[in-house]
Amino acid sequence: SFTVECMRDARTLTIVKAVIDMARSLGINITAEGIETQAQQTWMQHLGCDSAQGYLFARPMNVDDFVRMFIDRRGVGRERSLMH
């Protein structure tokens, strides 16, 4: 993935930076995908990504498991706001 490769390949890094710059100039928020390590998250944040997703945060899951995880991490009472 670009997320992994841009940390070790200069040409890939150039592409990633160009895409981030283009998105920024258009006012688009940038989510880095495929984040598996803290180093990758830090690197993509340094490059200008607004958010990240990947195995570092959670494996794919069904909706019920997601709601349980969300409530566990955020506290009881947020289930209603999550579902809107």
Look at residue 62 and give its three-state secondary structure: coil
| Whether 40 contacts 7, CB under 8 Å | yes
Residue 27 burial (10 A CB sphere; 0-12, 13-18, 19+):
exposed
Task: Tell me which residues are annotated as active site.
Answer: 33
